[in-house]
Copies of this chain bind each other. A is one copy, B any other.
Amino acid sequence: MVDILHRVAVRSASPDGVYAALTTLDGLAGWWTQDTTGDVAPGGVIRFRFETANGPDGFDMLVKEAVPGQRVLWEVVDGPAEWIGTHVGFDLAQSDGWTEVLFRHLGWAEPVEFMHHCSTKWAVFLMSLKELVETGAGRPAPRDVKIDNWN
């Protein structure tokens, strides 16, 4: 098993802004993809959709944990084959006016080329999350930063 790991920090003395961006439809639509629907409560499934060159694509995430100000964990229940059964987690911590975010996309079966792409793309989306909380505007799909010929 191989994992994608990232760390960003948001200039925010309270974790509430980051937590809201991870646990509300408006928040998620503000940094990952504008087409976000579903049930954000623990046990619910959130549907993230993207327009691609090959038509609509996306991920369905089962909310496994949502601990206010501390931790969010999803299990991928539908999406690309490589993603199904993997887990996506965000752990929050406070430090001197910052909200630190440790991001983990855990449990890839193999370090395929698509995983390399997703690693860079997660970094770009986490920078979008940071921008959203710091400035009020992120760069969600379809206005997301393009990293390669797979977008």
Contact = CB atoms under 8 A, between A and B. Distances in A.
> Main secondary structure on chain A at its contact with chain B?
mixed
A52 interface: no
A2 B5 CA distance: 10
B148 A8 contact: yes
Number of identical protomers:
2
Q: How large is the interface on A (under 10, 10 to 19, 20 to 34, 35 or more residues)?
A: 20 to 34
Nearest to A5: B116
Given A148-B98, A149-B96, A7 B116 contact: yes
A24 to B, nearest CB: 23
Contact of A9 (B95, B103, B147): B147
Contacts of A14: none
A123 B9 CA distance: 15
Nearest to A112: B5
Contact of A120 (B8, B148, B150): B8
B123 A119 contact: yes
B119 A6 contact: yes
A112 to B, nearest CB: 9
Given A9-B147, A102-B116, A124-B127, 8 more contacts: A2-B3, A3-B111, A5-B116, A7-B113, A7-B117, A7-B119, A8-B147, A120-B127
16 contacts: A2-B2, A2-B5, A5-B115, A5-B116, A7-B120, A7-B147, A7-B148, A7-B150, A95-B149, A96-B149, A98-B148, A102-B116, A119-B119, A120-B126, A123-B123, A124-B127
